């Protein structure tokens, strides 16, 4: 039997990307040439030649009533092939048009919302060379200062990731069926507002959705205000 020994192998740079680890311990013959050691390492990691290393792009979409965590979302888009991760975090602010806001409440038509976000991801990939995309949106009550939406994208260089995330939030606001109610402090008017889904037959003759906001006051009066960011509201 050939005497063997334990050797710690350290991986850096490209070798770490290929193997997915930083170090490991291998059992090798006590007397071994460098070329033989290289073959031992290759045998221990079959199918991981440099030209074959390629991660499949991921689109990760999630709606949840749980608190959103920036670190969790950013971790999902990490790739050794990328040098940039861009994030957008939308939080609940404590004011709206001079009124004190206590919380927001979100509701979504999930099948349509998820489908629209997948379309956004597809559009992003046609416009920018991004690797992974993650879109997390909170549902239910969201207290002041907590995140209601987190969008992350990774790319080889920062410009693509930055532009992709900016496009994602702008398009989400314009096209995805998510309803928001703002609950305000009673001392500042006690107003609650829900957006109203309105169907609009555009120039193409196809019925599409856009959203308007209903503002309700304690005095039982109400007024309607169109969401200015909505695509269909501005392209009737």
Q: What is the pLDDT along the chain (236 residues), one digit of tens a residue?
A: 788 899 898 888 878 888 888 999 989 888 888 778 888 888 888 766 544 445 789 999 999 999 999 999 999 999 988 999 999 999 998 887 778 888 888 999 999 999 999 999 999 999 999 999 999 999 999 999 999 999 999 999 999 999 999 999 999 999 999 888 877 665 655 555 555 444 443 433 333 344 434 333 333 222 333 455 655 455 55
Q: Which two tokens stand for residue 129?
A: 């060379």
Sheet hosting strand 130-138, strand order edge to edge: 59-64, 130-138, 147-155, 84-91
214 falls within a domain: no
Regarding whether 76 and 9 lie in a shared domain, the answer is no
Q: Is residue 173 annotated as involved in ligand binding?
A: yes
Q: What's the structural domain count of the chain?
A: 2
Regarding whether 64 and 9 lie in a shared domain, the answer is no
Q: Is residue 33 annotated as involved in ligand binding?
A: no
Angstrom distance (rounded) from CA 201 to CA 173: 20
Residue 152 sits in a domain whose CATH number is 3.90.1170.40
Under 8 Å between Cβ of 183 and 211: no
Q: Is residue 181 annotated as involved in ligand binding?
A: yes
Burial of residue 222, with CB atoms counted within 10 A of its CB: 0-12 exposed, 13-18 middle, 19 or more buried: exposed
Regarding whether 91 and 35 lie in a shared domain, the answer is no
Q: Is residue 201 annotated as involved in ligand binding?
A: no
Q: Which two tokens stand for residue 24?
A: 């490991």
Question: Containing domain of residue 82, as a range?
Answer: 58-188
């Amino acid at each position: 039997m050939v005497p063997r020994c334990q050797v710690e192998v350290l991986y850096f740079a490209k070798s770490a990307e290929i193997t997915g680890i930083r170090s490991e311990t291998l059992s090798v013959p006590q007397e071994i040439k460098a070329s033989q050691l290289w073959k031992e390492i290759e045998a221990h990691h079959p199918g991981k030649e440099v030209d074959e290393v390629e991660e499949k792009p991921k689109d990760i979409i999630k709606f949840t009533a749980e608190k959103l965590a920036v670190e969790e979302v950013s971790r999902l888009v990490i790739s050794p092939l990328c040098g940039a991760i861009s994030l957008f975090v939308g939080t609940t602010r404590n004011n709206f048009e001079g009124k004190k806001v206590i919380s927001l409440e979100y509701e979504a038509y999930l099948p349509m919302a998820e489908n629209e976000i997948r379309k956004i991801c597809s559009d992003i990939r046609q416009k920018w060379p991004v690797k992974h995309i993650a879109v997390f949106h909170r549902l239910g009550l969201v207290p002041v200062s907590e995140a209601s939406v987190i969008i992350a994208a990774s790319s080889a260089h920062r410009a693509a990731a930055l532009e992709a995330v900016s496009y994602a939030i702008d398009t989400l606001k314009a096209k995805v069926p998510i309803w928001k109610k703002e609950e305000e402090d009673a001392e500042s008017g006690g107003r609650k507002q829900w957006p109203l889904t309105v169907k609009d037959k555009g120039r193409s003759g196809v019925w599409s959705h856009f959203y308007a906001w209903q503002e309700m006051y304690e005095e039982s009066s109400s007024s309607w205000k169109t969401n200015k960011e909505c695509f269909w509201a501005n392209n009737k």
